[in-house]
Structure formats: structure tokens, C-alpha cells
């Protein structure tokens, strides 16, 4: 490990650009290169405002996306072509089964690349490779193929609302498919843009028709400023709390349990800041392009901008229960998991349950990579979500409302500390280090959640007839399972 050269995979020109900034900031070279690519996505997005014709926009989108990938990941960009050509060919050859073929094939290719590149260890060291980009493309091509398959095999009267909104009735043109695949604004960090949304934006249909998109610059500037707050938080916290001086520090096991929880909590908060920064910046790039626009509020008439929102930072930080977190974190991926995994594994006429939650979380874990840390995080998340749901339902049905604070505050504390406790697995990635980290605090959050789960299921008894509460609970539970949002009737911000 001591002989590892972080510049080994870079061309000389890349090294010349990156090395001065890496030495000055102390940030790993791979992260510096990735950050430059992320920054570039915003001005690249703004150029779309200057291009009047859809075909030219497609060409620009494809060319700029390819150049952006070449800048950040070099020759690894060929993997985008492999995934795109395979997926498009499957749609051409067999419409009735293309969705399943693309789902299986793209995930197999992603898993192979995860294993081949040892992406978990690389990302842990700050050397970000193209696997993140492939993760985004995997979601895109599977969604497009499944929607194309549905449109050719399911009568419109039998489709659900989501299938009607995302329908791909005809085979996309090659140029438009290529432009959508390499769309530069979300290429390196997501979110995955649905083909139907890209098509409607390109041709000024749907929310982009009629009055069209208003001026984007005020909203864009606000998001840029907002993203810098989280970049600053991340940089400041990482100066004092790192994996090396917390979980992996020589004196970690000499610290008290209380001090360990404090340090893992602050480390988790700081680490999460980089995700907030990346996703808010990507949202700003989408707003600059216009695709982040989501229509006008039906009551106030004000424009809404939730089309490409992938994170609501304050929603995550203020979440009162584990149930609420997925509604604000990695929102678009959650929507994908909801509609392309959770719903499709629920038998027709049946209600989804823990089995569907677990399958969805396992798919999410596989999507992130093969390292045990990802699996431990997502499987544990399923248990934490189910425990939170059980306690929430018990509280709604049996606990006097005037005494809610006696449960609400401890539940919030468990949620915020427990999230950062679970995040340790996501950062450490290896099984031995994850189990050692959790074991160093005696798995306390796990034991508390298991107690909540057993207690809530054992003593749930007969529920009080609270219609409004039950409706809210149902929606919340649906959001839980998917690491994302519940079904939405329009693109209006909720």
C-alpha cells in the first residue's frame, strides 16, 4: 500500500491539472479530478439555454458528456458505450422482454466492474473511478427499457399512474438516446434522469410546454451558494475527524462509549456533507439547463424546481424517525427503487411487506458494490426502518398525544445518532472493520431497534380508528421501503 501511486491511472495532462490542487488542499488526486468534473457540469448545463434545436441539443449533450467523462475517467469511458449499445440493442431486438434483459445485463456488468476495479477500497481512499458514473447509467438504461417494455405489453388502461407518466411508446432515436445517456449535468453523480422527462424537456412538452420554464438563474445561484455550505462543513470536519483518528485510530478502544458515539456522530455528519454538496450542485446544473424545472404551483402559481432534486439536507438532518430519512436522501434513486424493484416484487393484489423492503435494500446494496459494508448498511437499514415503523404505529394507536414528547425526542436522538452509526459501515466497507466499529459500541443502536421491532409487533393490539394518521402512516411506510418517495401524481414539489 505504501507504494501506491494515486496518479498511476492519470494521463500526464490530467496530472498536471490535478497535482497542484491536491498538494495545496490535501485532497486525494482522484477526488480533485472528480470535483473538477462536477464543477464543469454547471456551465455545461447553462449552454443548453443557448441551443434552440432539439437535435443540436442532443449532439451537444452527447459530445459534452463524453468529453466530461474522458476528462474525469480517461479511457474507462468506453464502458459507457458498452452499456449503452447493449441496452439499446436489447430494446431493438425484443421489446417484450428487453426490460428484464437490460436489468439483468446492466447489473451483471456493474457488479463485474465493481469487483474488477475494487471500487469500495478505491473510493475509501478518495480515488473515485468511473463506477459511480456506471451506477447512474445502470439506473437510466434499466428504467428506459422497462418503460419501453411496459408500453408495448401493457394496455394503457391497465397501467398505473407512474407507468403512464414514464411511458416510452416508441423506440428512441439513436441520437436522442445517446444524448440522454451522456447528459452532462447528472453524469458523474446523478440523479438518473428518466428518458421521458428528457424527451419532454427537449421538445417542450409536459411542464416545459405552455408558459414554459421561467428564468433559471436566481434558483441556480441559490443552489450554488447552498452547496458551498456543505462543502465547507465537510472540509472543516474532515480536518479534525477522519477514519484514521476515529474507527481506525490506535486509541479508539481506549475511549469511553460516550466519546465514541460523539466522534462517530460528528464524523458521519461531516462525511454526509460531501454528498449534500455534490447532489445540490448537480441539481443547480439541472436547473441551469432547465430540466430541473417541475412546473408551477397550483395554488400560488410560483415555479417549482423539484424535477432533479436528489437530496433535501435539512429534511435528513431533522428527520424525527428512520421512516422520514429516505424521503429526503437520494430521492431519485429511491423513486427508481420504489417503482422498478419494490412495486415489481409485490404480487398483484397483495400488500408489500418486510420481504419487499429487504429485497429492495439488497438491490440497493448490490448497486452500490460488493463490499460487505454496503450490504451491512442496507440490510441493517431495512431492520431499522421496520423497527421505526413498528414503534411509530404503536405510538399512533396507543400512546396519548399529549405525552408524545416522551417518545419523540428519544426516537429523534436514536435516528440522528443511529444514522451516523450505520454510516460507519458505508465508509469502512470491509466486514472486519465494520463489525469491529459497531462492536466497539456494543451494537447499542441495533439492540434498541430490535427491541422497538419486537415491542411494536408484540403489543400493537387493536388500533384506534384514526383515519388521517393511518393515511400518513401508509404513505410513510411506502417511502421507507424504497429509500425514496411515495407515488407522486405530478412533478409538483411535495
Cα 228 to Cα 313: distance, rounded to the nearest angstrom = 13
User: Which of the residues 114, 265, 327, 368 is marked catalytic?
Assistant: 368
| Amino acid 362: pLDDT | 84
Residue 364 above 60 pLDDT?
yes
Give the domain extent around 102: 12-203
- Segment 266-281 shows an average pLDDT of 95
CB 168 within 8 A of CB 151: yes
Q: What is the pLDDT of residue 28?
A: 79
Q: Are residues 335 and 273 located together in one domain of the fold?
A: no
Q: Please indicate whether residue 246 or residue 460 has the higher confidence score (pLDDT).
A: 246
What pTM was estimated for this model as a whole? Answer: 0.88
DSSP string, 221-248: HHHHHHHHHHHHHHHHHHHH--TTTTTT
Return all residues near 240 (Cβ < 8 A) that are at least 6 apart.
Answer: 266
Cα separation, 107 vs 112, in Å, equals 8
* Identity of the highest mean pLDDT range in 218-232, 311-325, 339-353: 218-232
Contact 159, 8 (CB under 8 A): no
Residues whose CB falls within 8 Å of the CB of residue 299, separated by 6 or more in sequence, listed in order? none
Angle at which helix 195-202 crosses helix 174-181, to 10 degrees, equals 110
The pLDDT > 90 percentage for the chain reads 61
Q: How confident is the model at residue 485 (pLDDT cuts 50, 70, 90)?
A: very low
Q: How is residue 392 written as a grid cell?
A: 411509530
pLDDT category at 64 given cuts 50, 70, 90 is very high
Q: Same domain for 167 and 31? A: yes
At residue 277, the pLDDT reads 96
Q: Is there a domain that residue 295 lies in?
A: no
Same domain, 266 and 339: no
Taking CA atoms, 449 is separated from 375, 389, 394, 413, 473, in Å, by: 18, 10, 14, 12, 19
- By CB atoms closer than 10 A (0-12, 13-18, 19+), residue 488 is middle
Query: Would residue 399 count as lying in a domain?
Result: yes
Residue 250's Cβ-count burial label (10 Å; 0-12, 13-18, 19+) is exposed
Place of cell 427503487: 337
Say if residue 281 is in the same domain as residue 325.
no
8 A C-beta contact, residue 486 and residue 478: yes
**104 shares its domain with 222:** no
The length of the chain in residues reads: 494
The reply to whether 62 and 191 lie within a common domain is yes
Q: What is the DSSP string of 119-174?
A: HHHHHHTT---THHHHHHHHHHHHHHHHHHHHHHHS-GGGS-HHHHHT---SPPPH
In a domain, 365, yes or no: yes
Whole-number percent of the chain with pLDDT over 70: 90
Residue 2 lies in a domain: no
pLDDT at position 476 is 40
Q: Are residues 86 and 150 in the same domain?
A: yes
Distance CA 37, CA 44 (A): 10
Residue 230 in domain: yes
Asked if 319 and 353 sit in the same domain, the reply is: yes
User: Pick from 203, 220, 252: which residue ends a domain?
Assistant: 203
Coil, helix or strand for 426?
helix
In a domain, 302, yes or no: no
Tell me: do 282 and 395 sit in the same domain.
no
Neighbours of 174 (CB within 10 A): 12
Burial class (CB in 10 A: 0-12, 13-18, 19+), 447: exposed
Render pLDDT for 115-163 as a digit per residue (tens, 0 to 9): 877 655 555 555 677 888 999 999 999 999 999 999 999 998 899 899 9
Closest CA to 278 of 81, 123, 66: 123
> Can you tell me the distance from the alpha carbon of 376 to that of 429, in angstroms, rounded to the nearest whole number?
9
| pLDDT confidence band for 461 (50 / 70 / 90) | low
Whether 295 and 491 have beta carbons less than 8 Å apart is answered as yes
Q: Is residue 296 part of a domain?
A: no
C-alpha 480 chain-centroid distance: 14
Residue 406: predicted pLDDT: 82
Q: Does one domain contain both 323 and 238?
A: no
Task: Give 475 or 403, the one with higher predicted confidence.
Answer: 403
Q: Is the pLDDT of residue 468 over 80?
A: no
Q: Which three cell numbers, joined as nine digits, stand for 32?
A: 480533485
Please, are residues 304 and 291 in contact by the beta-carbon 8 Å criterion?
A: no
Say yes or no: 401 and 264 in one domain: no
368 is catalytic: yes
Domain endpoint, select from 161, 177, 203: 203
Query: Among the three residues 203, 229, 251, which one is the final residue of a domain in this structure?
Result: 203
Same domain for 341 and 220, yes or no, is no
Q: Tell me the pLDDT band of 487, cut-offs 50, 70 and 90.
A: very low
Give the total number of structural domains in the chain. Answer: 3
Residue 412 is placed in which grid cell? 429523534
Give a yes or no: residue 297 inside a domain: no
Amino acid at each position: 500500500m505504501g507504494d501506491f501511486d494515486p496518479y498511476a491511472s492519470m494521463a500526464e495532462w490530467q496530472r498536471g491539472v490535478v497535482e497542484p490542487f491536491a498538494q495545496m488542499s490535501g485532497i486525494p488526486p482522484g477526488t480533485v479530478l472528480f470535483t473538477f468534473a462536477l464543477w464543469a457540469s454547471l456551465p455545461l448545463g447553462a449552454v443548453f439555454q443557448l441551443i434552440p434545436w432539439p437535435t443540436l441539443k442532443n449532439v451537444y449533450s452527447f459530445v459534452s458528456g463524453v468529453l466530461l467523462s474522458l476528462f474525469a475517467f480517461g479511457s474507462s469511458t468506453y464502458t459507457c458505450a458498452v452499456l449503452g449499445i447493449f441496452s439499446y440493442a436489447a430494446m431493438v431486438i425484443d421489446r417484450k422482454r428487453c426490460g428484464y434483459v437490460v436489468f439483468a445485463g446492466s447489473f451483471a456488468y456493474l457488479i463485474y466492474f465493481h469487483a474488477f476495479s475494487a471500487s469500495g477500497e478505491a473510493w475509501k481512499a478518495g480515488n473515485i473511478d468511473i463506477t459511480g458514473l456506471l451506477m447512474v447509467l445502470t439506473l437510466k438504461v434499466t428504467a428506459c427499457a422497462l418503460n419501453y417494455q411496459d408500453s408495448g405489453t401493457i394496455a394503457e388502461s391497465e397501467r398505473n399512474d407512474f407507468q403512464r407518466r414514464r411511458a416510452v411508446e416508441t423506440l428512441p432515436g439513436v441520437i436522442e438516446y445517446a444524448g440522454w445517456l451522456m447528459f452532462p449535468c447528472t453524469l458523474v453523480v446523478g440523479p438518473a434522469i428518466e428518458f421521458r422527462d428528457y424527451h419532454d424537456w427537449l421538445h417542450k412538452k409536459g411542464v416545459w410546454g405552455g408558459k414554459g420554464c421561467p428564468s433559471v438563474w436566481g434558483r441556480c445561484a441559490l443552489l450554488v451558494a447552498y452547496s458551498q455550505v456543505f462543502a465547507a462543513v465537510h472540509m472543516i470536519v474532515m480536518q479534525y475527524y477522519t477514519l484514521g483518528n476515529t474507527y481506525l485510530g490506535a486509541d479508539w478502544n481506549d475511549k469511553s462509549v460516550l466519546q465514541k458515539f460523539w466522534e462517530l456522530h460528528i464524523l458521519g455528519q461531516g462525511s454526509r456533507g460531501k454528498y449534500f454538496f455534490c447532489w445540490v450542485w448537480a441539481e443547480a446544473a439541472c436547473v441551469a439547463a432547465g430540466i430541473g424545472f417541475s412546473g408551477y404551483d397550483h395554488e400560488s402559481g410560483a415555479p417549482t424546481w423539484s424535477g432533479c432534486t436528489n437530496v433535501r439536507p435539512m429534511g435528513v438532518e431533522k428527520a424525527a424517525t428512520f421512516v422520514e430519512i429516505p424521503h429526503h436522501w437520494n430521492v431519485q434513486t429511491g423513486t427508481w427503487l420504489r417503482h422498478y424493484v419494490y412495486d415489481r416484487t409485490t404480487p398483484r393484489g397483495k400488500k408489500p411487506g418486510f420481504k419487499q423492503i429487504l429485497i429492495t435494500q439488497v438491490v440497493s446494496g448490490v448497486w452500490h458494490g460488493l463490499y460487505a459494508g454496503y450490504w451491512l448498511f442496507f440490510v441493517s437499514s431495512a431492520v431499522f426502518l421496520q423497527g421505526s415503523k413498528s414503534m411509530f404505529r404503536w405510538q399512533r394507536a396507543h400512546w396519548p398525544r399529549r405525552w408524545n414528547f416522551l417518545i419523540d425526542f428519544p426516537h429523534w436522538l436514536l435516528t440522528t445518532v443511529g444514522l451516523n452509526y450505520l454510516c460507519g459501515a458505508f465508509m469502512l466497507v470491509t466486514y472486519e472493520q465494520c463489525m469491529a466499529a459497531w462492536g466497539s459500541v456494543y451494537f447499542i443502536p441495533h439492540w434498541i431497534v430490535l427491541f422497538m421491532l419486537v415491542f411494536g409487533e408484540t403489543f400493537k393490539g387493536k388500533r384506534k380508528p384514526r383515519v388521517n394518521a393511518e393515511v400518513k402512516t401508509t404513505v410513510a411506510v411506502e417511502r421507507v421501503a424504497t429509500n425514496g418517495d411515495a407515488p407522486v401524481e405530478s412533478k409538483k414539489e411535495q
